[in-house]
Every structure is written in C-alpha cells, then in structure tokens.
Amino acid sequence: MKNHIEEDEIKFIVKEQIGGKLPNFLNEEEVKCVRNFHLSMDEYKATPLVALEELAKKLGVHKIYVKDESYRFGLNAFKGLGGTYSIARLLCKKLNIDIKDASFEYFNQPEIKEKIKDMVFVTATDGNHGRGVAWATTKLGCKSVVYMPKGSSLTRLQAIRDAGAEASITDFNYDDAVRIAKQKAEENGWYVVQDTAWEGYEDIPNWITQGYTTMADEALDQMKLDGIKRPTHVFLQAGVGSLAGGVLGYYANVFKDKCPITTIVEPEKADCIYKSALANDGNPHFVTGDLDTIMAGLACGEPNPITWKILQDFAKAYVSCPDYVSARGMRVLANPIGNDKKVIAGESGAVGLGFLSLLIERETLKPLKEKLGLDENSVVICFNTEGDTDPEHYEKIVYDGKNPSV
C-alpha cells in the first residue's frame, strides 16, 4: 500500500512496507572487489564525509552527513567510479583475466596497451559520466566518443573534450542520445559504456552500478570513525536510478532488515522513478519530452530496469520536486552555519539536502516526515554527487539569485 500526496508542488509516495530479494551483485564481497580495484589507482583517495553539526541541530536531528564527491579523481563528480570499474571489467573480458587479478596499472603495461589501443568506448551523458569515461580511456591509451543531449552545458562539453574524448551535443534528449550511442557502437564495432540497461545489455550497467558502491562503502567506514554504526536515513537523487540503486542495494545487503529508511528524490520534469512507483504495477515507466531541469545529471526519462527493481523493493519514499528544491540545497551547503564546513554542490548533487531541509521545516510536509520517522535520534546521509561542474551556472544560482529560488 502507498500514500500519494501532492503539496507545494512537491509530490511524494510513501510505502508501508519495504523488502525483497537482495541484489546479489551488490553484496559485500562484490563491493570489496570494486573498492580494491579503485584502491589500485594512483588517483584514488576517499572523498570527504562532511558532518554538518550545526545544520543537524537547526533541523532537529542527531547527525547530517554529506558525502562530498566533488573531490573524486579531480573530476568534480562521482561518475569516474563507475566508468573506471566498468571499463576495467570490459578489458578483463577482452583479455580473459579475472578483475581480482587486475589493477589499473596492469592495463598500462606496454604489451597490454598494445592489445587495447584500438578499442573505442562510446556513451551518452549530460557531462559527468562522459568526462569520467573520457578520462579513464585516455589514461589507458584508448579512444572515446561522447554524445550529449540538447541544451547541454558548453562548459561540460569542453571538459569532456579536454579529457580526451570526441564529444558533441545532439538535437535530442538524454534517452535518445543513449540510442544514438548504441547505434554508433553497432555500426562501428565500438563498446557502449552506459549506466542504464536494456535487453541483452546488462553486464556493463551492472558494473557501473557496482563502481558507485565505493563511495557508499567509504561513507560507512568514515561514520564508524565518528562513532556511528549505521545511518538511519538516506536521501538519494535519481536519474536512471543506477547510483540510487547501487547505494541502496549495497546497504540492503549490509544491514538486511535494518536497512536505512531511504527516500528517492527526482526533478519533476524527469521523475521516471516516481512515476514508476506511482503506477504500482512493478514495471518501470517512462517520462518523455525535453526533460527540462537545472538538474542536468538527473534529466533521464527511462529508468534502468535492473536498479528500478532495487528501488521498488527497498526504498521507503519517492519524491518529485521542482528545481527550487535543488537551488535551495546548493545555497544551504554554500552558506554553512557556524563551524560547519562549506560544501560546493552542483544542481544534481544538492537536491537531497535541499529536500531534507524543506521536509523538516515545512508544515505541509509533516506527514512525510512522520512516516519516515525523522526525529532527534536520526542519522542522515546525503550524497553530493557533483561540485560546480558548470561554474557560471553555479554562481548564478548560489550568489546572483538568477535561477529558481526558494
């Protein structure tokens, strides 16, 4: 059974029960393998887990943590985690070796580079994923081609080109850009590196999803150093749902029947996970059109069917929200209270924290707050998945007030 409520342009659904078959590909052994591979990279360093103590006091909860992925690999976003791991798995398959026997440097051996130098990897992206793929393939001496949806940031386009890819902005939305990448791969014998699945294309999206778990695993280790055994609440933003499904699927495996209460947050113009939950028929449902939102990294209309199943089973609530929620989160993080640390969060990275602040402060959202059990004992974590990947746009939202405001 679900409760469906629309208030203040924010729509949400709450499930009475959660649970289902645990996703085995996100179990602790698999995640250990992923993190060990990332540890083999010279650029690897755990990103900060920022404790916002003053904000937690203001909002009346015990702890608020923000996992700050703007520090990841110098790419200003988390996507390199999935790109590097999935490409490594693809190379292992080509070279007939086990990922457990490989490292990032293994692929840089002259005799190995000679075997892989003609491989071309292709993807569609709003920016962050494409930059991660370009960065990884360039380091390995391979080539990459990146297609971006219409309206994409020229700054993000240039960042992808600077990372070594052949990149262009198409006249289509994100989901159609994915189809272009798939078509070009079939025509040219390229390798698609995409974080959404379709029939016959499941391994690579699963490897990308696994790659994202490194940040979720790091966060648990960092909480333990702060005396916290587990988060009680997790707020996860969703595009196709691979990030959200990866983090939630891993936490479900770790904590079993004590899985953190998880809320999935999306932009209202691209709320395919929310729409899928609303339909309540077990199937993923699509959103079409321009998918126009400032949260470019979440502007996806077709859920990853594999991670949708995880979100369907283990998420407690699904939220569809206007752009001002993300803008609010960006400003809250950019203007910390007291001794709290400033966090530079981009449009897609800030929406979870933005929604959390509104959830606690708005009377109209009180029913959801109560159903989620948020109180003075709650330990909350949000994932800032990108920094100011479009600095000019970031400045306008945070300091100039020229974009959606609270």
Instruction: State the greatest distance between any 2 C-alpha atoms of the chain, in Å, as a whole number.
Output: 64
Report, as residue numbers or ranges, the catalytic residues: 79, 126
Q: Which of 180, 239, 236, 230 is nearest to 205 (CA)?
A: 239
The single residue listed with the structure tokens 């690579």 is 204
Helix H or strand E encompassing 233:
strand 233-237
Three-point CA angle 373, 376, 378, nearest 5°? 55
CA 347 to chain centroid: 12
Interatomic CA distance for residues 86 and 195, integer angstroms = 9
Interatomic CA distance for residues 311 and 317, integer angstroms = 9
Helix H or strand E encompassing 93:
helix 80-95
**Between the CA atoms of 379, 242, 298 and 66, what dihedral angle is there, to the nearest 10 degrees?**
20
Interatomic CA distance for residues 291 and 287, integer angstroms = 8
Tokens of 321: 């929200």
Question: 261 and 231 in contact (C-beta within 8 Å)?
Answer: no
Tokens of 329: 């989160």
Residue 395: CA atoms inside 13 Å, Cβ hemisphere, count? 3
Interatomic CA distance for residues 295 and 319, integer angstroms = 14
